Amino acid sequence: MSTLETYRLLIDGAWVEAADGQWLESLNPASGQPWARFPAAGEAEVEAAVAAAQRAMTSGPWARLTATQRGKLLRRLSDLMAEQADRLAEVETRDTGKLIRETRAQIRYVADYLLYFAGAADKLEGSTLPIDKSDMLVMTLREPIGVVAAIVPWNSQLMLAVLKLGPALAAGNAVVLKASEQAPAPLFELGRLCLEAGIPPGVVNVISGLGEPCGRALTSHPGVARIAFTGGPATARQVVRNSAANLALTTLEPGGKSPIVVFEDADLDTAANAIVAGNFGASGQSCVAGTRVLLQSAIHDEVLRRVAQRAATIRIGDPLDPASEM
Instruction: Decide if 253 is catalytic.
Output: yes
Residue 315 backbone class (left: φ over 0; alpha: ψ -120 to 50; beta: rest): beta
Task: Decide: 209 and 182 in contact? Cβ < 8 Å.
Answer: no
Q: Is 211 helix (H, G, I), strand (E, B) or coil?
A: helix
- Amino acid found at 144: P
How many Cα atoms sit within 13 Å of 140 on the Cβ side? 9
In the sheet where 224-230 sits, what is the strand order? 14-16, 9-11, 204-208, 174-179, 147-151, 224-230, 249-253
Q: Which of 229, 256, 239 is nearest to 161 (CA)?
A: 229
Instruction: Decide if 194 is catalytic.
Output: no
- E-strand stretches of 89-216: 147-151, 174-179, 204-208
Q: Which of 257, 151, 250 is nearest to 207 (CA)?
A: 151
* Catalytic position from the list 253, 264, 302, 325: 253
* Catalytic position from the list 90, 287, 302, 325: 287
Radius of gyration of the chain from its Cα atoms, rounded to whole angstroms: 22
Torsion of CA 7, 8, 10, 12, to 10 degrees: -150
For the annotated catalytic residues, the residue numbers are: 253, 287
